[in-house]
Structure 1
Amino acid sequence: MAVDSTATRRLSHRGNQSIAMGSGCRAKPLLEAFIIGGVTELQLDAAGVGELELFLAGAYAPETAFRLPAAQRFTAGTKVLLRDPNNVRLAVFTAEAEGCGAVEVIEKPRHADFTGHRLTAEEARRRVAGSSLVRAVALRGFLSIETERALLEGGARAIVHVIEDGPVDHFPRVRAALAAAGDRLLVNILPVAPRDPARVLRNYGAVELVEESGDTYRPEVRELMDRFLPPRRRQGFCVWFTGLPSAGKSTIAEQLAVLLRERGRLVTMLDGDVVRMHLSKGLGFSREDRDANIRRIGFVAGEIVRHHGVAICAAVSPYEASREEARRMVGADRFVLVHVDTPQPVCETRDVKGYYARARSGALAGFTGVDDPYETPLRAELTLQTEGVTPQQNARAVLEYLIADGRIDEE
């Protein structure tokens, strides 16, 4: 099989010295800055730790300064302690200019898995030294037979760089790549998708870059895909009901749960009132506490969805920003926002707990719809009206949407 010229790019070298590609100090938004005891600290998220790991591995050579996100700027000479999401101290960053600076390593990012396949650029170059032609691919999916052939065409050596933060858990994707590994194919793990793939793959010893292609897989790879990457109709998703208090969210959500369970789906209900008795016990109703409550629900929903379950969430979730954060936590392609758009006067007539009356009398402060705003969703996939429509009818409307969207089989 000839290598498709549109899927292969030649990477330039100058002897063994990599040539810098691109300029400027751009990077993903990584972290949140804070000051503790006079020491400036930056807590990196997973993407930030991955960028630091690539930098320390020599992936961005000949750069000698680590790049902070565009939003982070410090006066030259400022020393900043970098931590990972678990508060492990990773390095001391000394600001220079334009968001870049020197890094003194305290402890490199930790990995317990596939330790023999987490190479530095120098280690990878050493492994393929002496090969006249080395190709590489940055793999976000599973290694196909077509990609494998394109890599090895003409007797080339190849490096498969499995991107750890891909759309599917990296464990089965690494196993799939290892199934094809041999004398000519080396498997390596990159923690994040590099901001400059050509430079990184070149620094790891490649001469040509191959793009992922094809949909034919080895039997053992197909078996892994069936387990870890099921068809859309068997994948997890989250239906998030939002609306004013007493709008009818929980009632519709419960009816939807029944319809989905009838179709054999594993469903977990995350009702706002129940969550506040357990997961969010102790939180109040300030803006900060409301946001924390939604983050907690979003985190749990994301874990359920990641394991191919269905999460149905019913929470007032009055703020657009926190709803969008929940969408990101779950995954935008697996999140269905349903706005239960019941007029406030109707909600008040349904309020059996008397919250609206207490809020209007001043006995209850910060109540959504009275003295705290409800921000109408800007990106709801569905909007439901409840006047003259039963909860069963609304639940059926959500089910029909899920069927049309390919998330549920039509019976």
Structure 2
Amino acid sequence: MKIAILGSGVIGVTSAWYLARAGHEVVVIDRQNGTALETSFANAGEISPGYASPWAAPGIPMKAVRWLMMKHAPLILRPHADMAMLRWLTAMLGNCNARDYAINKSRMVRLAEFSRDCLIELRKETAISYDERMQGTLQLFREQKQLDGIGKDVAVLKADGVPFEVLDRAGCIAVEPGLAAGEAPIAGGLRLPNDETGDCFKFTNALAAMAAEKGVTFLNGTAISRLVAENGRIVRVETDRGPVTADTFLVAMGSFSPQLVAPLGIRLPVYPVKGYSLTVPIVDESRAPVSTLLDESYKVAITRLGDRIRVGGMAEISGFNLDLPLARRATLEHSAGTLFPGAGAMEKASYWCGLRPMTPDSTPVIGATKVPNLFLNTGHGTLGWTMACGSAHVMADIIGGTKPAIETADLAISRY
């Protein structure tokens, strides 16, 4: 079967790998001149299945009001005349209750844990290298009330059999010694020892090269304009380099997926939520993180990637703009600088932003559509890197008619 994958970020490339491995002829199309040059380029670097949690949670509306007032705000809202934004915000707020939170988190953890297992298998199979580390993730709480509020997350971790540790200040410093030099208060932490880290950009490019060796064709620098349907099926995708035909089409274009499928009568509730990152060269390894730390107060992840520190986070709801305000950079510098002072050369850091494709329930959209030969693998939000291999694996199973290893019915667009 010939399959056209639209999008060559980490989701599109991992999908190409698993589909090619299953024996399909695969072509990947992307407007950028290389792979992983948009949202996959400089993300936080964490592979954290146990921290796969919905943004929509009980108490979030009240927290959001406080966040908007903070100097170093983890949430930034720039409202404008955008019905898609309004629909998305309304739907997200509708998920801010205990019942939906438990349902959404459980299916997110299910997919993320499977994805971590798939990545381990892929690493054994290919010996792929991407500045990977397997030393866990620490969610750090600066305030006692944050630590006291982890009950609902711990309950889900227990239910899903995910190993975890609740640490005091000394325990946090024991797993991340660089914290000892910091000036920030530390009430405690929640550590997931099975989590991993790695450079998503390096991984995606290395896997793309391996996929090309398996026969995958990459049409980079090719802008996609529309999908063309005849007799109820997609027959081709129109691009600025001419039409591309295939038997099956898989949309993996992140935040740009809804616009492509809307003319087909498919309303895909994915909206761009902007995130920022700094990539900082290390100057003092003794003060640097050894793995990933999540700063709960500012929703910032601080990750060790080889001889660099990746500082990423925040959520800005402002449409498709890609500006780089100095205030956002200041928040990243404040979080990392108060926890790991002197670890990196902040003045030499590269500053970046990307558009995370978020669904209102934080669960990606993976599976079939009402068009028989059109499939979706998008909407992973902040967890594209965490969920990529598992999403691609089940997508290859669904397209190939094989029963996936995990339940996937509640991941499809039909849940909306």
TM (norm. structure 1) is 0.24
- Greater RCO structure (CA 8 Å; 6+ sep): 2
TM (norm. structure 2) is 0.23
User: Which structure has the highest strand share of the two?
Assistant: 2
Which entry has the higher C-alpha Rg, 1 or 2?
Answer: 1
